[in-house]
Each structure stands twice: as C-alpha cells, then as structure tokens.
Structure 1
Amino acid sequence: MDEASERDFRDYVVSRRGILEREAYLLVGDPHLAQDLVQTALAKAYVSWRRVSSSENADAYVRRILVNANISRLRKRRVRELLTDMAVETQGAYVTPPAGADTTRVDVMRALMALPRRQRTAVVLRYWVDLPEAEVAATMGCSVGTVRSQSSKALAKLRGQLMLREFDMRGV
C-alpha cells in the first residue's frame, strides 16, 4: 500500500473506529468481543483498502465486512457462551447498575441479546445505525422483504419482553 493510501486508511480508522465498535457491541453484546470483531473487520478492510476506498460508500463496505465477520465467528465458535444475569465488571464495560438505578438500558440490552442473530442484525442496522431498508438488505445479503420481516418479528419480541419486565416490576 502506498503512503497516501496508508494515511487515508489511518484517518478512516481514527474517525470511524468508535462508531464501528458501538455497532459491533450491539451485534454481540460483549465489549471485548466487539473490539475483536472490529479489529478483524478493519484488518480485512486494510487488505482490500484500494477497493474499499474507491467504493461508493466505504462505511457500507466495512459494515458488510463486520456483519460477515460476525457470522463467520458464530459458525466457527466451538465453545458455547452462556449469558447470565451477572455482568462482568470491567473498566468501562457494560456492568450491572447499582441498586435503585434505572435498569431500562440493561433490560433493553438483555432483550436485544436474546434475539436471534439475523433479527438482532436487522434491528441494529435499521434502527440504531438508521440505515434504509435497501442498505440493510445489501449489508445482510438478503431481500428488503426479509429485512422487513426480521425487523417486525424482532420488534414484536422486544416489545413483548420489555412489557413483561414492566409488568413484573409493577407487581413488586
């Protein structure tokens, strides 16, 4: 890679890494795994940076790499992870809120992580990243109808889970 391309890639990483890590976190629910996923995606983008930078939308290209890397990670995973109610306490990571704190964010993240991978990906890209349905479909490698159905099912599940949580809290 020539010096100008190298500088261009570095500038891209500096400006977009935080955003990519937030998107990856919403896909995987673990801050460390999200960082690994972004690092993998950026390494793949670096190898083909000439093609990425000359594309119409470099963000869409890298986001597609990110989503594909997550799919590959899930296919290769040999040790199953078990999600629990207890969050790992790490510096700056997602932790259990103190007693009496608003737990809405925690509840939303738990509900989001309970969704199947394709539904979670559709919701994150469509409503968190705010991409149009056509771009979500291109990123996920499916039709716009699939994005709509996956999003609809996911939103119904999220509403149901969060309403149950709200109902449970009223009874306490």
Structure 2
Amino acid sequence: MRQEHADEYAEFASARAGHLYRSACLLAAGDTHLAEDLVQETLGRLYVRWARVSRVGNPAGYAQTVLTRTFLAHQRRRSSTERATDVFPDLPAADGSDGGDSALLRLTLLDALGRLPPKDRAVVVLRYWEDRSIAQTADVLDASSAAVRTRCVRALARLRELLGEELGAYARP
C-alpha cells in the first residue's frame, strides 16, 4: 500500500473505530471481547481493500456494512462447543447504589438484544442505532426491503415480549 493510502487509512480508522466499536457492542449484545474482534476483523478487511474503498462515496457506510456482515458470518460459524448464556456477570446492585438506573437499563436492553436471533439483532441495530432506512438496511443485509420490514416488526415484538413490564420501570414521563 502506498504511503498516502496508508496515512489516509490510519486517519479513517482512528476516526471511525469508536463508532464501529459501539455498534459492534450492540450487535454482540454487550460481549466486549467479541466486539473488539469484530472491529479488528472489519478494519483488517478495510485495510486490504483501502485503495478501492477510499474511492467509494461513503467509506464509513461501507465499514458499517463490513462490520454487520462480519458479525453475521461469525454467528453462522460459531463453534458447537460454545454455549451462549443469558446471565450477565457482575450485575449492578438492586438497591440503586450503582449511581442510577442507566446502567441497569443498559444491561437489561443488552440482555434482551442478546436473546434475539443474529439477523433480527442486526436489523434492530441498523434501523434504530445506526438510523438507517429500510433500503439501506436491506442493502447491508443483502435482503429485500420486505424481509427487513418483517424482521423489524418481529424483532420489536420479541423485544417487547422479553422486556415486558421491565421497560415501563425505566420510561420517563
């Protein structure tokens, strides 16, 4: 890679790494180690193709697409020896001594996101965290707009079912 491309890539990676990491944390349902791996894999793939990617009109959007597809590929190849769990270690104290409800809300939402199937989780993150349109989400997931709408409705219904009355405790008037 030429030096000018390397410098340009380093600047892009520095600027976007934090945003990619936050999105990856949501996709990974709070698994920060997996999120770091996803970001590293994404940035590695971008580095290899940077000469081409830098000419794209929206390299940040391209990076998000690569991140989402890397996450979905990881979910498909999960080893049969790995077992997902629905229990978070080190939950905050129930008496509110954690400094507020925001941490408990974040953990509750991450737990609910973690219970969604990977593609449903990706749709929710892309549509509501990344604020992408249905067409943009469909393009990232390589699916039809109708499939994205259907997944979105089902994922939100499942989140409501999982959160139940818990979400009402965090709603602010």
TM range (shorter): 0.7 to 0.9
In structure 1, how many angstroms separate the alpha carbons of the residues matched to 2:161 and 2:73?
30
Partner amino acid, structure 2, of 1:144: S
Q: Do 2:21 and 2:39's aligned partners in 1 also have CA atoms closer than 8 Å?
A: yes
CA contact (8 A) 1:40 1:69 kept: yes
Q: Which shows bigger deviation, 12-21 or 159-168? A: 159-168
Match of 2:83 among 78, 81, 84: 81
- Which one of 100, 105, 130 corresponds to residue 95 of structure 2? 100
- Identity, in percent, stands at 34
| Match of residue 133 from structure 1 | 134
Q: Which amino acid aligns with 2:63?
A: V
2: CA distance, partners of 1:26 / 1:166: 18
Structure 1: gaps of 5 or more residues = 88-94
- State whether residues 60 and 139 of structure 1, in contact with CA within 8 Å, keep that contact through their aligned partners in structure 2: no
SS at match of 1:135: helix
Instruction: Extract structure 1 runs of 4+ deviating beyond 6 A.
Output: none
1:75, distance to aligned residue in structure 2 (A): 2.4
Question: In the alignment, which residue of structure 2 is the partner of 1:122?
Answer: 123
- In the alignment, the residues of structure 2 paired with residue 127 and residue 72 of structure 1 have an alpha-carbon distance, to the nearest angstrom, of 21
Is the Cα–Cα contact under 8 Å of residues 136 and 147 in structure 1 kept in the other structure? yes
Root-mean-square deviation (Å): 1.7
For the residue of structure 2 that corresponds to 1:54, the secondary structure is coil
Alpha-carbon distance, 1:119 to partner? 0.7
Residues 1:16 and 2:16 are matched in the alignment: yes
CA drift at 1:23: 0.5
Task: Report the TM-score, using the length of structure 1 for normalisation.
Answer: 0.87
Task: Report the TM-score, using the length of structure 2 for normalisation.
Answer: 0.86
